[in-house]
Amino acid sequence: MFAGKFNASVELDLRSLRQNESSAENGLSLASDPAGIVNFLDMINNLKGDSGRGYYMQMVIGTPGQTLNILVDTGSSNFAVAGAAHPYITHYFNRALSNTYQTSGRGVAVKYTQGEWEGELGTDRITIPQGPSGTITINIAAILTSEGFFLPGINWQGILGLAYPLLARPDPSVEPFFNSVVRQTGIPDVFSLQMCGAGVSASTTADPAGGSLIMGGVEPTLYRGSVWYTPVLEEWYYQVEVLKLEVGDQNLNLDCKEYNSDKAIVDSGTTLLRLPVNVFSAVVEAIMQTSLIDDFSSGFFDGTKLACWMRGETPWRLFPKMSIYLRATNTSLSFRITVLPQLYIQPVTNIDGTLDCFRFGISPSANGLVIGATVMEGFYVIFDRAQKRVGFAVSTCAENGGVPFAEIAGPFLAEGIASDCTRGVSLREPVMWVIAYALMGICGLVLIILLIMLILPCRRHRDGEITDESSLVRHRIK
């Protein structure tokens, strides 16, 4: 155990979506674009990076164009780029050099699970060398100050939020990037993502070809087998419904509401599989029971230690598979996505050329279950916003020697599971907004009453002196 921290083909039909249903859960959005606006083959391998440093794509911003690498994040909704120098980035977007940049005069601030930034909202034109043809005008936030957002060793200078408008800051009126692309180009409201960093060490110095972001549909050469879809429950994050978890063949047997507390989302911007604390503890316990390792340090599971083996040894045979059951679009059915240990026991570094060290790709979460890169790297994930669903199929790039690191199976009857595993969980963010605004209104009303009390003539006793009560109010306000 090593103690320490480590930073680690088809084209698009713009006229209509053609559904090719080979099974109840196997719908695809495939077609061709005679105008040549979008060619999915041009988008293959348009991402670089890995789960430890993020997956990013190249974009050209402004007039004349400035080229930046932009992190792909399905867990936020703002398009933001560095607007000032920072020690951990090589260059930034210089607004003064762009003839087409227009400021809105509004400030914006965004906080993530890790890191935050503040900046200025504006608009500008962008082109994507390996994306839809043409120039698109989008809302852009220039990051002027940040904390814990840009990290050592990264090779990106901005973030592309691909979630829904409800998460946009400072409010949902700021149209997100992909909404602008769909509106201005007419492509279907679908994008799909393949992330190819499975098995890549976080200490690798060069960035490999990290995957593909297909805008407008599905590229069938990037997956094998069937595509299974789960409904998007609420259009803010890509919120889905998890029915149960298994470690090996062992069902954790938790109430399904535990898995969805306070939400379960699919988020490419999160490195690990994050589980609610109770679920995480149950998973660790099950792994320790089914693993072939007799005595394992808890430091490995809480992220404070790495596990190291002699170089060339493969530790994955010592660990079980893990499966997540998702509700299918036919809500009486479910399907399961299974990750092999190659996805959640992750290589990060080697020591003196003799030891290979690994980290645990799962962590506890205080704000819901997050299907992050640890799981997504095993699958081709389809964000079919037009039909309000997320699809999973086994990725063609998550394998070794022809053996895939992920599996998918179904259908399974969802009997014995609550019809709604999200009911009764913690309040979601939109509800919290309503409560916050209501409390602000109440506070404002109280403040007005207090001001009126100060302005109105004070009641006096017959001797003309201020009463003790009114005097107290006045002096406390001061």
How far is it, in rounded angstroms, from Cα 1 to Cα 59? 41
Residue 427: the pLDDT is: 46
Query: Which stretches of 148-207 are assigned E, i.e. beta strand?
Result: 158-161, 190-195
* pLDDT tens digit sequence for 226-278: 999 999 999 999 999 999 999 999 999 999 999 999 899 999 999 999 999 99
Tell me if 3 sits within 8 A of 299, measured CB to CB. yes
3-state secondary structure of 374: helix
Q: Which residue has the tokens 């990076």?
A: 49
Task: Identify which of 123, 147, 135, 65 has the alpha carbon closest to the alpha carbon of residue 98.
Answer: 65
* pLDDT tens digit sequence for 85-94: 999 999 999 9
Q: What phi-psi label fits residue 216: left (phi over 0), alpha (psi between -120 and 50 degrees) or beta?
A: left
Residue 352: the pLDDT is: 75
Tell me: cis bond preceding 33? Omega within 30 of 0 counts: no
Residue 440: the pLDDT is: 67
Q: How big is the CA angle at 246 (ends 289 and 50), to the nearest 5 degrees?
A: 95
Sheet hosting strand 362-365, strand order edge to edge: 264-266, 369-371, 273-276, 362-365
- Exposure of 196 in the CB half-sphere (CA atoms within 13 A): 18
- pTM value is 0.82
How far is it, in rounded angstroms, from Cα 208 to Cα 206? 6
Residue 252, Cβ neighbours under 10 Å: how many? 16
Which portions of the chain are predicted below pLDDT 50? 1-35, 205, 426-427, 458-478
Tell me if 193 sits within 8 A of 105, measured CB to CB. no
Tell me if 231 sits within 8 A of 414, measured CB to CB. no
Known catalytic residues are: 73, 267
Q: Which residue has the tokens 């590229």?
A: 219
Secondary structure (DSSP) of 129-152:
TTSSSS-EEEEEEEEEEEESSS-T
